[in-house]
Structure 1
Amino acid sequence: MTVEVYLIYLAALAAFFVTPPDTSQLLIMSNSLRHGLRRSLWTVAGDLGANVVQMTAAGFGLVAVIATSASVLVWVKWAGVAYLIWIGLSLIVRAPTTDRPGAAPLARRRVLFRQGVFTSAANPYAVVFFGALFPQFIDPASPIVPQLVLLGGTYLLVDGVILILWGYAATRVLSGPLQLSGRMLNRVSGGLMIGAAILLGSRDLAREAEL
């Protein structure tokens, strides 16, 4: 892979990420609001961990299998939608233990990690995406595995930085002029969760409409 090709790949990633916040980004914003950015890094780790599995699946040629298993994809997608809605509604109806902004009880690290994994894994089309993206930048005359590692590692780095920036932007709300009460914080966090679920479900419906 030449430097020119790698720079084109970076430009493609930049174009891909210049969008309104997606499901994973809304999740990190919600968790950062409630538990702080540092603890929510476990959500980022879970999200990126799921990406590694998806990239590996794409690398092993499972794209065709997943693309033809429409019923499995539908069940996975809507399970993710239901999971996010359940979390969102739970936050909205939950009475705050304190009305001081940013004082929500800290979730366990494994819970935040699991949320990141589940939310990212609930988008199985990511495997198809990686399977379609990476071949565009691979030189078949060179060793394939190092190129896949470079492309995948770059994606994880860019995605991780963007997730952290979204979480940081969310936490700035707490230290800025807009101070959220405990109840309002629950509602905003829950709304972000439900927004993530709606986004996840609408993408699936749009895809089904195209078929």
Structure 2
Amino acid sequence: MITDVEWATFVPSALLLAATPGANQLLTLRNGLRHGLAPAVSASLGRFSAFALMVIAVAAGLGAVLAASEVAFNVIKWCGVAYLLWLGARTVLAAVRGQVAGEMQKTADEGDGKGVRGGLSSWRLGWQEFLVAATNPKALILFAVFLPQFLPRGAKDVAVPLLVLGAAYIRIEFCCACGYAALGSRLQSMGISLRARRWLDALTGVAMLGLAGWLATENH
């Protein structure tokens, strides 16, 4: 069954989907810019924990239940909107007030991978990634719609192939997340001005606010 999966079509499609900037990828870029490569990559594991739960849910048939339940969809949707609004506004305000500049100056002094102090700070970054992913009902429905397209027609036992496809997608998006984290870390190490760093952080926050608005206006 797994060998019947349309891998030649799945891999480029998944790569395009994973590389497209979204809330989590922007968050990883911001974490790379503010804290360095290692903390940003580590924090992204929170996102993939949420994705793994979604893939399991889709394999168990819960994705179809969410797609059919307007109440459940809207509850998760508005939680996601609220969290993205809060995170985006907080990021913009931090940039405007100059807090980002101070934080990144400390990061530059400490070196790559040391900008996040202590397990609690690392946990918070990972928790942010988890919440952004988990409170987006479109992500779960995307898995429910996207993954089955690459299964052979008429397949009856689809749980295992869906889990395999989900794991493959998570690997692909992890590689893309590493790219976003590396880009943020590279911008940090290039010695760009504090003002430019603040602008980049502010733009990330604005993008998150825009994504919140898009999610709010999307119909089920």
Shift of 1:135: 1.8
The runs of at least 4 aligned residues of structure 1 exceeding 6 Å deviation read: none
Q: 1:100-154 CA distances to partner (integer Å, 9 max, x unpaired)?
A: 6734852511011101101111211111111112222224547533312220111
Equivalent in 73, 77, 80 of residue 80 of structure 2: 77
Partner of 2:43: 43
Identity of paired residues, percent? 21
Partner of 2:34: 34
Aligned equivalents of 2:198, 2:175: Cα separation in 1: 25
Match of 2:116 in 1: 106
Equivalent residues in 2 for 1:120-159 (5 A)? 120-139=133-152, 141=155, 143-159=157-173
Alpha-carbon shift at residue 184 of structure 1 (Å) = 4.8
Match of 1:163 in 2: 177
> Which ranges in structure 1 are unaligned for 5 or more consecutive residues?
none
Distance 1:172 1:61, change over 3 A: same
Structure 2 unaligned blocks of 5 or more: none
Q: Deviations over 1:78-117 (max 9, x none)?
A: 2222232243134222532674673485251101110110
Q: Could you say if the C-alpha distance between residues 168 and 134 of structure 1 is closer, same or farther in structure 2, counting changes exceeding 3 Å? A: same
Measure how far apart 1:18 and its partner are.
Answer: 5.0
Spell out, residue by residue over 1:19-78, the C-alpha distance to the aligned partner (whole angstroms, 9 max, x if none): 3x2111110011111110101122210111111111122222122332222431332222
Q: Does 1:195 align with 2:207?
A: yes
More helix by share: 2
Q: Which residue of the partner structure matches residue 61 of structure 2?
A: 61
**TM-score of the two chains, using structure 1 as the length reference:** 0.83
Aligned-residue offset at 1:4: 6.8
The change in CA–CA distance for 1:101 and 1:185 in structure 2 (over 3 A counts) is farther
Count of residue pairs brought into register by the alignment: 205
Please report the TM-score for the alignment, with normalisation by the length of structure 2.
0.80
